[in-house]
Structure 1
Amino acid sequence: MEERWSTEHVLSLAPDQASLKAAGKLSGPAPWSGTGWEQGVLWGLCKGSGSTPYRAAVELATPAYTCSCPSRKFPCKHVLGLLVLWSAGTVEATEDAGQPDWVAEWMTGRQAATEQRTARQQARAEADPAAARRRAERRSARVAAGAGELRLRLADGVRRGLADHGAAADWEQVAARMVDAQAPGLATRVRELAHTPQHGLLAGYALLHLLAGAYARVGELPEELAATVRTRVGFTADTADLLAGPTVRDRWQVLGSRDTADDRLTTRRLWLRGAKTGRPALLLAFGRPGQAPELALPTGQVLEAELAFHPGAQPLRAVLGPRYGAPEAGPVEPPAGLSPAEAVAAYGTAVAADPWLESWPVVLSGVVPVLGPEGWQLTDGHSAVAVRRGSVPEQALWRLAAVSAGHPVTLFGECGHAGFAPVTAWAEHGRPVGVAQ
C-alpha cells in the first residue's frame, strides 16, 4: 500500500488560491461517504447542493483525477478535499474489498487510452522512413535560413548601436519569422531579447548570435554539442524514441518541485537525483490554464524508476519511464550537498559544456541565509552565493531565515550566473519544506 502524501504536497496540487480555500471546507469527514483506498486508487462521494453526490477519484501513481462536478479547474476542490482527508489518515484502506463500479470503469477507460497512445506511437515508428527523412531535411533547411536571417539582424543591431535596440513590436516580427522557419527556440529567445534591460543586451545578442551561428555548422559539431544546439533552436525528441533508447534505472530522490503559470499553460518542474548514480534529472509536466499538471511526486520521497535523458552536452531533462513500485519515504537525513564555492564551480563546469545554460541544480549544505547591503546571501562562513533576485517572494526568504534561526540548513535549488534560486529547505533533522510555499 502506498505511503500517504503529506498535506503540504496535496495543497501544492491546487490550481489557485480559491481552490485551496474551497478544498479546506471539504477536508473533514462530514460531506464524505463511500470513501475507499486500494491498489493505488482513492475514491469517495461528496455531498453537494444537489441530491446526487459528486464522485471523486484519484489514481495515485500518475497521479490522475476525475470528478463528476462541473468545475473546469483540475484538480477540483472535491478531489483536493478527498486527498487532504486521505493524507490525514481518515480514509481507511479497503483491503481488497473491491472498487465501486464507477471507479473500475474509469480505470478501465484510462487503461484503454494508454493502449491507444501506445498503438499510435508504434504506428508513427513504422511510418515511411523515407518520407520522414524528407520532412526532416525540409525543416532543417527552413531553420537554417531563419537562423541566417537572425544573424544578419543581430549584426545590423550591433553596427547601429545597442542604444537603438528597437521596439518590442519590431522584435515580435522577427520572432514570428523564426516561428515560420520552424525554430521556436530561436523565437522564444528573440522575445526575451526584446525585453532585456540595456545592461544585458550585449550578452543577449552574443548568446543568440552564437546559437544561430552554431546551427549554421551543426553538422560539424561534436554529436553531443550538436544535440544541444538542435534542442536550443527548437527541435524536440519524441518520448517514445527516448524511452526506446538507453535508460538509467535508479532510486530517484525528489529534491523539489515548482509550478509556473501563464495564459497558455501551467508548467511543473520536478528535480530528482539518483541515489546510486548521483545524477541530477529534471522532469517537466504541463497542464492547461487553471489545471495542475498530472505528474506529481512528493518532495523528499524516493521512486525507483527508469529515466530517459534528452541528448545533449550536459543532459539534464528526462522523461519518466517504467516505475518499480510507488514512491517511498526518503532518507531521514537531508541530502548531501556542496559549499557555495563548490556549487558555483559546478555551474561553471555545466555552462562550459552548454553555453546557453541559465542554471544548474545543486544542493547547498550547511548554509545560513543572511540579509546584507546587496541583498540576501547564503553563506557557510567561508564562501557565499547571492540569492537570485525575484526567484522567490521576499516573505519566503524571511520564512527561510526563521527556519534557519541562525543555524546551518540544507537547501536545494538552481545555481546560475544570476545567483541561487532556492526551491527546498531542510532544517536539521527536519522534513523538506518548499521555500516558496
Structure 2
Amino acid sequence: MAIDLKTIEQLATDQSSLKAAAGLAKPAKWSGLGMSPDGALAWGECAGSGANPYRVMADLRDLGNKCTCPSRKFPCKHVLGLLWLKAEAKAPFPSAETPPWVSDWLGRRRSSGGAPKAPAPNAQPAGDKDVSAAQLVEPEAADDPKDIARREAAAAKRSEDTERAILDALDALEQWIGDQLRMGLAPFIDDVTARCRRIAARLVDGKAAVLAGRIDELPGRLLALPAGDRPRGAVVELGKLVLLARAFRASPRDAALRRAVAASETRDAVLAGPETLRVPSQWEVLAEQVQTRRDGLVSQTTWLLNLSEAGPRFAMLLDFFPASAGRRGSVFAPGERFRGELAFYPAQQPLRALLISRDTAADATSWPTPEAALTDTLSAPLLAEPWTLDIPVLLPAGRIARDDAGHSWWRSADGSTTLPVAGSAEGLLCGTDLERTAAIWSGNRLTILAAQTRWGRIDGHD
C-alpha cells in the first residue's frame, strides 16, 4: 500500500516533528524492519536514548500507528520516520510474519477506530478463501478506570516537564541576549550566524522549536538590512525576543504564545476549538512566498485579502514540507478570487488561518478602503503582540519612486508618510499611481505583495 511524503506531512503535528522525522529516516537508525505479506502492516525498531530500541508499527490501510516511546505527540517522530523510510524506499521492508508485539497492538485496537487484529502466523483459512487482517475483528475492550487515571497522570506529568523545559530554555535565551548586549552589537553582527545557531540548538533541546526556528532565521533578516541599519535592527530583534519570552512566562498556556514558542495546534484542534473564528467571505490571493529554511523545511505562505467588510482584513495560509520533497505546485494563482470559509487560529490579532472550503469565483469587487490611519494600522498589531515580525497592511493611494542612491520608497499621495521598500522597485510599480497597495511591514521595510491601479492589478514582482 503506497504512502507518500505529502501524507506524512499531513500526519505530523508540527514542523519540529517533521524535522525530527527527517533525521530518523536513515537505515542505520533502524533494525528489524518488516512488512506483512499483504502489505498492510509495517514495523521496525528505532534506536533511542535508552538501552532498548523503540518498537514502531503502522497500519498502512488507515495510517493507525503505535510507538513505545514516551512522546506525547501522536504520531511521534519515530512513526513518521518509519513511514518516511517506506515512502522513499530508503531501506528494504522484507515480507515476514507479524511479530507478536505488532499482533498484540492490533488486537487492542478498537474495531471502530482502526484496523482489526492480524491473523496468527499458523492460522488456517476457512474453506478456500484467504483470510486477511481486515477480516478478523477483536471485540472492543472496556477501558480500565485505573489505566485511564494512569494515562492522564502521565500526560499531565509530561506537560509539566515540557513547560519546565521551555521555561528553562527561555531563561537561557534571556541570559544569552544579555551577553550579546554586554559584548557589543558590532561583534554580535559580525558573528551573528554562529551565535544564533548555538542558542537555537539550546532552544530545540528545551522544546521551544518554533522559537528556535525564528532565531535561526534572524541572521538572514539582519544581514538583509543596509549595514548602517543593522545595529538598530539587532536591538529590535533582541528586544522582541525578550518580550516574547516574558509574555510566555506570564501566560504559558496561551495558545498564541505557545504557537510562537513551542508548537502549533493541529488542524483538528483549531477546527474544534470554541474560540476559533470562522469567516465566510470573498478573498483575493495577493501573493505566495516560498522560503527554504535552515532546518531543512520549506515554508509556503499564501497571503489573502478579505474583500468584504466582515472579519480580519488579511489571512495567512502557512504550510511546511521537507525540502527533499522538491518544489510543490501551488493551489492558488496570484490575483485569483474565490468565495470560501477560513478558520483563524486564536490570537488577539487573527491572521494565520486554515482553508475550510473553497467554492465559486468571487464577484468583481474593488479592494476595500483602509479602515484607519496608517500609523494606527502599523502600531495596533505591535500593541497587541509586540514580538510580531511581519504586519500585513493595506496602504492608501500613493506611489513608489527611487532616490538618488537607488533606494525605493513608498510615499502616500498626500505626502504625509514615506516608508522604505525592500529591494528595488522595478517595472510598472515604479512611478505608477497606486490606488491601493498590499504590503508586509517588517518594522523597517515594506515588501510589496500587490497593488491596484487605474489600469488594473500589479503584482509585487512586476
Task: Bin the TM-score by the shorter chain.
Answer: 0.5 to 0.7
Contact in 1 for aligned 2:390/2:442 (Cα 8 Å): yes
Aligned residue for 1:11?
none
Q: Distance in 1 between matches of 2:113 and 2:440?
A: 39
Please show how residues 64-79 of structure 1 align to structure 2 within 5 Å: none
Specify which of 169, 187, 192 is matched with residue 212 of structure 2: 187
Residue identity matched to 1:369: I
Name the SS for the 2:202 alignment partner: helix
Q: Distance in 2 between matches of 1:265 and 1:192?
A: 12
String of CA shifts for 1:220-263, please: whole Å, max 9, x gaps: xxx7xx33322221321111110112341312312412232326
Aligned residue for 1:249?
279
Specify which of 395, 399, 409 is matched with residue 364 of structure 1: 395
Question: What is the count of residue pairs matched by the alignment?
Answer: 307
Name the SS for the 1:188 alignment partner: helix
Specify which of 303, 310, 318 is matched with residue 353 of structure 2: 318
In the TM superposition, residue 370 of structure 1 has moved relative to its aligned partner by 2.2
Tell me: CA distance 1:153–1:266, structure 2 relative to 1, closer, same or farther (3 Å): closer
Matching of residue 397 in structure 1 with residue 426 in structure 2: yes
In the TM superposition, residue 354 of structure 1 has moved relative to its aligned partner by 0.7
Q: Distance in 1 between matches of 2:113 and 2:408?
A: 55
Tell me: CA distance 1:298–1:192, structure 2 relative to 1, closer, same or farther (3 Å): closer
In the TM superposition, residue 349 of structure 1 has moved relative to its aligned partner by 0.7
Aligned residue for 1:349?
380
Q: Distance in 2 between matches of 1:235 and 1:428?
A: 44
Aligned residue for 2:304?
272
Aligned residue for 2:157?
134
Aligned residue for 1:238?
266
Q: Structure 2: any 5+ residue segments left out of the alignment?
A: 1-58, 66-73, 76-111, 115-142, 223-229
Aligned residue for 1:227?
255
Specify which of 247, 259, 265 is matched with residue 289 of structure 2: 259
Residue identity matched to 2:286: G
Specify which of 305, 319, 325 is matched with residue 285 of structure 1: 319
Residue identity matched to 1:303: F
String of CA shifts for 1:343-380, please: whole Å, max 9, x gaps: 33212011110101123222223222222345322321
Tell me: CA distance 1:434–1:286, structure 2 relative to 1, closer, same or farther (3 Å): farther
Contact in 2 for aligned 1:367/1:379 (Cα 8 Å): yes
Q: Distance in 1 between matches of 2:300 and 2:234?
A: 29
Residue identity matched to 1:206: G
Tell me: CA distance 1:169–1:139, structure 2 relative to 1, closer, same or farther (3 Å): same
Q: Which runs of 4+ in 1 moved over 4 A?
A: 115-124, 126-131, 192-195
Report the TM-score when normalising by structure 1: 0.61
Report the TM-score when normalising by structure 2: 0.58
Tell me: CA distance 1:399–1:276, structure 2 relative to 1, closer, same or farther (3 Å): closer
Matching of residue 382 in structure 1 with residue 415 in structure 2: yes
Q: Distance in 2 between matches of 1:285 and 1:344?
A: 31
Aligned residue for 1:23?
none
Please show how residues 16-35 of structure 1 align to structure 2 within 5 Å: none
Residue identity matched to 2:261: V
Identity of aligned residues (%): 23
Contact in 2 for aligned 1:253/1:300 (Cα 8 Å): no
Residue identity matched to 1:237: E
Q: Distance in 1 between matches of 2:417 and 2:353?
A: 30
Query: Aligned Cα RMSD in Å?
Result: 3.5
Residue identity matched to 2:410: Q
Q: Distance in 2 between matches of 1:329 and 1:303?
A: 4
Q: Distance in 2 between matches of 1:349 and 1:118?
A: 45
Tell me: CA distance 1:343–1:258, structure 2 relative to 1, closer, same or farther (3 Å): farther
In the TM superposition, residue 308 of structure 1 has moved relative to its aligned partner by 1.8
Tell me: CA distance 1:383–1:304, structure 2 relative to 1, closer, same or farther (3 Å): same
Residue identity matched to 2:246: G
Aligned residue for 1:22?
none
Tell me: CA distance 1:272–1:367, structure 2 relative to 1, closer, same or farther (3 Å): same
Residue identity matched to 2:366: P
Q: Distance in 2 between matches of 1:429 and 1:118?
A: 54
Residue identity matched to 1:149: A
Q: Distance in 1 between matches of 2:387 and 2:113?
A: 35
Q: Distance in 1 between matches of 2:417 and 2:113?
A: 53
Aligned residue for 1:161?
184
In the TM superposition, residue 338 of structure 1 has moved relative to its aligned partner by 2.8
In the TM superposition, residue 148 of structure 1 has moved relative to its aligned partner by 1.0
String of CA shifts for 1:159-217, please: whole Å, max 9, x gaps: 34334438343432221111111112332343345564334332232222222233233
Matching of residue 411 in structure 1 with residue 432 in structure 2: no
Q: Distance in 2 between matches of 1:252 and 1:132?
A: 42
Q: Distance in 1 between matches of 2:281 and 2:155?
A: 37
Tell me: CA distance 1:236–1:217, structure 2 relative to 1, closer, same or farther (3 Å): same
Aligned residue for 1:172?
197
Name the SS for the 2:263 alignment partner: coil
Name the SS for the 1:298 alignment partner: coil
Aligned residue for 2:52?
none
Tell me: CA distance 1:276–1:292, structure 2 relative to 1, closer, same or farther (3 Å): farther
Residue identity matched to 1:161: G
Contact in 2 for aligned 1:306/1:322 (Cα 8 Å): yes
Q: Distance in 2 between matches of 1:291 and 1:433?
A: 29
Q: Distance in 1 between matches of 2:337 and 2:64?
A: 27
Q: Distance in 1 between matches of 2:200 and 2:445?
A: 28
In the TM superposition, residue 316 of structure 1 has moved relative to its aligned partner by 0.7
Contact in 1 for aligned 2:434/2:451 (Cα 8 Å): no
Contact in 1 for aligned 2:434/2:452 (Cα 8 Å): no
Tell me: CA distance 1:387–1:311, structure 2 relative to 1, closer, same or farther (3 Å): same
